[in-house]
Amino acid sequence: MVEGNRPWDIGRFLQTLVYFDVIPCLGWVMRLLQGHEENDGKNEPGGKMQVVLVAGATGGVGKRVVQRLVERGYKVRSLVRDADRARALLGDKVELYVGDITKPETLTSKMMANVSAVVCCTAVRVQPVEGDTPDRDKYYQGVKFYQPEIVGDTPERVEYLGVKHLVQAAVPYLSRSTEIIFDFAAPSKDLPDIWGVVDDVVMGGVSESGIHLVGNTALFAGNVSTANSGGFASVRTRNFESPLSLTGYDGIELRVKGDGKRYKFIIRSDPRWDGTAFSYSFDTIDNSWIDVRIPFAQLVPVFRAKTLRDSPPIDLSNIYSFQLMLSKFEYDGELNPKFEPGSFALQVESIRAYGGMTKPKFVLVSSAGVTRPGRAGINLEEEPPAVRLNDQLGGILTWKLKGEDSVRESGVPYTIIRPCALTEEPGVQALIFDQGDNIKGKVSRDSVAELCVQVLEQPKACNVTFEVKQAQGSDRLPQWEQLFEQLQPDVSFCNYETTT
């Protein structure tokens, strides 16, 4: 059915141009005239897709992990016990969740939603027997030895049960092999700042659509009309502030419930409003939830709905925007066989990337020496204080080892980092990795924090436990690839495979 001519709505046309900053100054002038505040340009997702939860974010290593993750463009969520202290320490770029790993009821699904990796830097509180003062606190233990004691919770509760609670709370969120990009089941509140409408009004048509949060989904719905030679409705993200990298993934997975119609998902690695786009058509099943996989290899390069024969492939390292569309047309004038003018509705629960290599999703900062208390052939005189004083410190290393075990047994891809004595020395030094729990030495908290961030991007660090210390007499930065290359996966876990 072809509809006739209807009056064209220039107001909506201008709104679209303004929303997407198609004519940059126009948007600014309109916002000024309408008295709207300037958009801060913070369009999700952008940069890294991952939301990383840092437990122990107020600690010596944890605060540095947070800082480094923020600098790399991760979205950081911090599990803290004192929100005011944490805010003062960590700044306002991180989300704070108040919780306590010894109290599993505080490790909520809200805190875990969207999280794609956890870095755990928690520790039982150890302080000098004489009391904690700024010039004698535990951060100076690496410089000068003070007789330590445990204060507050026991090592069993923090180092073992706490870590176990945290990893168990994370399992449902970390055992998928896909990476979340948009999770409308737990959306950030700025959906209207990210997704906007692009209907055929931009070409004189009168179709009308919108996107709204309904239940745990985003509902793309409206009315598509062929009047005025129109025939499409769509919603598109504004360009991500920093382009998204999907390098290493095979494609996009949409979880959708539709109405039996055929839709398009469009990806752009060209920041221009009207440049080359990469499109994929997919069919929905009326009133049924389905997972639609969109392999990057099957994306069709297009300019509007015309296919481009000689287009370079999509640049997966620079993805600027996504678009969902219902159109009368397929490509090059072909008609969409499932198109009917009139109302339509497509619910979207999530947009994920699939097919990436498995990378560590739970990083635990443990300690060198955890297997040494009671080990045959150990000369305690030569061991670091934590090993010598393990019994006096409530079995701290013994419980740390049990905490490690709970991570190894969880089924989540993990890395367990066992630093030697931690120091406050600034900067990242050359490092030595070892396995088998035999090395002694020291390493800066800055180095360990950087290491935590590095392993998140390292498939070779998956299901690996290793010790780390500073290489003496070298001012070279760590050669990350070489260091990770030498690591062996933990024997009983090296055949781990993720499930979707």
155 makes contact with ligand NAP (CB under 6 A): no
Amino acid in the structure at residue 154: T
196 makes contact with ligand NAP (CB under 6 A): no
> Which residue number, 359 or 445, has a Cβ lying nearer to ligand NAP?
445
> Which residue number, 119 or 348, has a Cβ lying nearer to ligand NAP?
119
Tokens coding 500: 């979707």
Among 112, 314, 421, 455, binds ligand NAP (CB under 6 A): 421
Q: Within 262-291, which residues bind ligand NAP (CB under 6 A)?
A: none
Q: State the Cα torsion 79-84-90-91 to the nearest 10°.
A: 130
419 makes contact with ligand NAP (CB under 6 A): yes
- Which three-class secondary structure state does DSSP give residue 209? strand
Tokens coding 27: 């948007």
100 makes contact with ligand NAP (CB under 6 A): yes
123 makes contact with ligand NAP (CB under 6 A): yes
Among 12, 31, 72, 81, binds ligand NAP (CB under 6 A): 81
Minimum distance from residue 80 beta carbon to ligand NAP (Å): 6
> Which residue number, 153 or 340, has a Cβ lying nearer to ligand NAP?
153
> Which residue number, 70 or 203, has a Cβ lying nearer to ligand NAP?
70
The interaxial angle of helices 60-71 and 83-90, nearest 10 deg, is 50
From 56-64, 277-285, 344-352, 387-395, give the range in contact with ligand NAP by CB under 6 A. Answer: 56-64
> Which residue number, 12 or 81, has a Cβ lying nearer to ligand NAP?
81
Among 27, 60, 243, 258, binds ligand NAP (CB under 6 A): 60
DSSP state of 157: I
Q: List, in order, residues 6 or more apart from 2 with CB less than 8 Å away.
A: 226
From 22-30, 94-102, 247-255, 282-290, give the range in contact with ligand NAP by CB under 6 A. Answer: 94-102
Tokens coding 285: 């099943």
Tokens coding 380: 């305690």
> Which residue number, 59 or 360, has a Cβ lying nearer to ligand NAP?
59
**CA distances, 123 to each of 33, 163, 437 (Å):** 54, 10, 19
Tokens coding 422: 């931690």
132 makes contact with ligand NAP (CB under 6 A): no
Tokens coding 195: 């997704």
102 makes contact with ligand NAP (CB under 6 A): yes
From 45-53, 57-65, 181-189, 218-226, give the range in contact with ligand NAP by CB under 6 A. Answer: 57-65
Asked, as a colleague might, if the bond just before 172 is cis with ω within 30 of 0, I would say no
* H or E, element range at 207: none
Among 62, 196, 205, 231, binds ligand NAP (CB under 6 A): 62
403, 453 Cβ separation under 8 angstroms? no
> Which residue number, 126 or 305, has a Cβ lying nearer to ligand NAP?
126
From 121-129, 212-220, 354-362, 490-498, give the range in contact with ligand NAP by CB under 6 A. Answer: 121-129
Minimum distance from residue 404 beta carbon to ligand NAP (Å): 11
With b meaning 16 or more CB within 10 Å and e meaning fewer, what string describes 224-236? bbbbbebbbbbbb
The distance from CA 24 to its chain's CA centroid, rounded to whole angstroms, is 31
Strand partners, 434: 467
314, 296 Cβ separation under 8 angstroms? yes
Q: How far apart are CA 96 and CA 81, in angstroms?
A: 10
Q: Which residues bind ligand NAP (CB under 6 A)?
A: 55-56, 58-62, 81-82, 100-102, 121-123, 141-142, 153, 158, 162, 365, 367, 419, 421-422, 445
